[in-house]
């Protein structure tokens, strides 16, 4: 669309009026940041998308209610020690008490406080450390880049790196900023949205258009990644807008809306790719690009199937150009196509080789294929020659460390 989005330094504190903080509250682990706060100096409208899992963590239910019913929100409180899922009535009370305590400390209504949790499913969240943590978060919140990074670190669980980005775009002569952070490393599978993600923006936009933009976006960003096929109980993606950029309010589709969506897409795809590449135990970002599918939806289904397969993932880990597995995963995806027409390529940073075409394997160099599969970013390109549907999905390889991390996650 020719919209110019500029990546800038920082994360959730990059947009005007947003502050953040982190605290080591000792909710489950000692000596590790495990609570984060995002706070807007002005009331925000909020949009959200949440897990499709029937078993929804208490904070997911809390946030769904707030996003639908609250006139405005102003803070997000995150804990990364305990998921607060499978916790019954007591789990809901933890959300209520957290929001009430944060509201008092921040001088905003409890119904303006979103909460999010990640970590082990089952145990109850102890309120004492949470309340002590909130005190620290409220008093130390700041609008600096450091505070944003610190919050991005505090929401990590098995993540190995913090994940944040900020982007600027011009809307009617005004500079609008979006800043996001996310966590997610295991229990990651595309079905909205298998992670915690928080995006702040100073854009002036109506609640309806904000929710529409987010819903449309995730279909080709967060819903196109997978680490292990498990859709979590806690997946939450929140988008908060406080309007401080001063642009004319976006209330309908048009140029400004498109520009906002383009900037949002840059934020979400960046975060989604980071999550996939930092999947538990991952040694590589494993991308599948499908072109020429019968439809856009077919392309999504095909691309996701390839990056979700344990066998393709193990092949990438082993740098083994066993293309039959990639073809096989296309075949059981549910999308229909003619195997005789498909072309398969392995693509590295600066080279691409043709692996399969005309219904059979081609005469390629195993050595070169293996070298491509050893790169930190591996792309399998599939041209289905059925139509003009295109999509990209992101995953990671399957390593010994994935098993190790998950065979005893709780210890």
Using CB under 8 A, list all residues that contact a copy of itself.
51-56, 83, 85-91, 120-123, 186-187, 189, 191, 228-233, 308-311, 314-315, 317-318, 320, 322-325, 327-333, 335-337, 339-340, 356, 358-361, 398-400, 402-404, 406-411
Residue 194 among the catalytic residues: yes
Residue whose structure tokens are 């979590």: 232
Of 238, 121, 264, the closest CA to residue 186 belongs to 121
Classify residue 301 by its DSSP letter.
H
Beta-sheet pairing, 236-241 with 196-201 = parallel
Query: Could you tell me the smallest distance in angstroms from the CB atom of residue 188 to a copy of itself?
Result: 10
What tokens appear for 33 in the block?
Answer: 């940041």
Of 73, 78, 74, the closest CA to residue 95 belongs to 78
Query: Could you tell me the smallest distance in angstroms from the CB atom of residue 379 to a copy of itself?
Result: 19
Answer yes or no: are the C-beta atoms of 200 and 180 closer than 8 Å: yes
Of 39, 34, 99, the closest CA to residue 65 belongs to 99
Shorter beta-carbon distance to a copy of itself: residue 67 or 384? 384
Of 161, 364, 366, 137, the closest CA to residue 273 belongs to 161
- Give the C-alpha distances (Å, rounded to integers) separating 298 from 98, 180, 251, 384, 391: 43, 29, 32, 10, 9
Q: Count CA atoms closer than 13 A to 266's CA, side-chain side.
A: 21
What tokens appear for 297 in the block?
Answer: 């939806």
Whole-number Å distance between alpha carbons of 216 and 206: 15
Shorter beta-carbon distance to a copy of itself: residue 171 or 316? 316
Query: Could you tell me the smallest distance in angstroms from the CB atom of residue 227 to a copy of itself?
Result: 9
Residue 336 neighbours by CB distance under 10 Å? 10
Query: Could you tell me the smallest distance in angstroms from the CB atom of residue 27 to a copy of itself?
Result: 16
Shorter beta-carbon distance to a copy of itself: residue 99 or 301? 301
Considering the candidates 157, 194, 287, 392, report the single residue annotated as catalytic: 194
Shorter beta-carbon distance to a copy of itself: residue 169 or 398? 398
Of 276, 381, 366, the closest CA to residue 320 belongs to 366
Shorter beta-carbon distance to a copy of itself: residue 55 or 216? 55
Of 199, 185, 153, the closest CA to residue 45 belongs to 199
Answer yes or no: are the C-beta atoms of 113 and 79 closer than 8 Å: no
Query: Could you tell me the smallest distance in angstroms from the CB atom of residue 196 to a copy of itself?
Result: 15
Shorter beta-carbon distance to a copy of itself: residue 83 or 267? 83
Query: Could you tell me the smallest distance in angstroms from the CB atom of residue 124 to a copy of itself?
Result: 8
Active site residues: 194
């Amino acid at each position: 669309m020719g919209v110019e989005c500029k990546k800038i330094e920082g994360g959730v504190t990059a947009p005007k009026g947003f502050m953040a903080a982190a605290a080591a509250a000792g909710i489950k682990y000692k000596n590790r940041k495990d609570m984060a706060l995002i706070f807007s100096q002005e009331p925000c409208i909020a949009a959200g998308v949440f897990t499709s899992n029937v078993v929804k963590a208490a904070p997911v239910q809390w946030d769904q209610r707030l996003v639908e019913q609250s006139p405005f929100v102003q803070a997000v409180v995150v804990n990364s020690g305990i998921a607060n899922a499978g916790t019954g009535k007591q789990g809901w009370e933890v959300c209520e008490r957290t929001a009430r305590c944060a509201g008092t400390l921040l001088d905003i209504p409890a119904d303006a406080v979103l909460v999010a949790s990640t970590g082990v499913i089952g145990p109850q969240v102890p309120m004492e450390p949470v309340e002590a943590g909130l005190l620290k978060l409220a008093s130390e919140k700041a609008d600096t880049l450091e505070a944003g990074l610190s919050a991005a670190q505090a929401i990590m669980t098995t993540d190995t790196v913090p994940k944040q980005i900020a982007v600027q775009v011009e809307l009617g002569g005004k500079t609008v900023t979006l800043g996001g952070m996310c966590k997610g490393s295991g229990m990651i599978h595309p079905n909205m949205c298998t992670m915690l993600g928080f995006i702040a923006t100073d854009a002036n936009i109506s609640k309806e258009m904000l929710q529409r933009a987010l819903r449309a976006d995730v279909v080709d960003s967060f819903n196109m990644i997978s680490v292990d096929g498990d859709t979590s109980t806690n997946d939450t993606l929140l988008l908060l807008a406080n309007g401080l950029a001063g642009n004319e309010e976006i209330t309908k589709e048009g140029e400004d809306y498109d520009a906002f969506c383009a900037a949002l897409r840059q934020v979400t795809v960046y975060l989604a790719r980071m999550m996939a590449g930092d999947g538990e135990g991952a040694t590589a970002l494993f991308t599948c690009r499908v072109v020429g599918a019968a439809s856009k939806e077919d392309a999504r289904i095909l691309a996701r199937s390839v990056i979700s397969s344990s066998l393709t993932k193990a092949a990438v880990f082993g740098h083994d150009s066993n293309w039959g597995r990639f073809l096989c995963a296309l075949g059981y995806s549910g999308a229909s196509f003619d195997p005789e027409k498909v072309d398969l390529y392995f693509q590295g940073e600066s080279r691409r080789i043709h692996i399969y075409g005309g219904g059979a394997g081609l005469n390629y160099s195993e050595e070169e294929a293996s070298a491509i599969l050893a790169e930190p970013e591996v792309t399998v390109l599939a041209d289905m020659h059925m139509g003009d549907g295109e999509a990209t999905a992101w995953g990671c390889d399957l390593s010994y460390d994935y098993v190790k991390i998950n065979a005893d996650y709780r210890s």
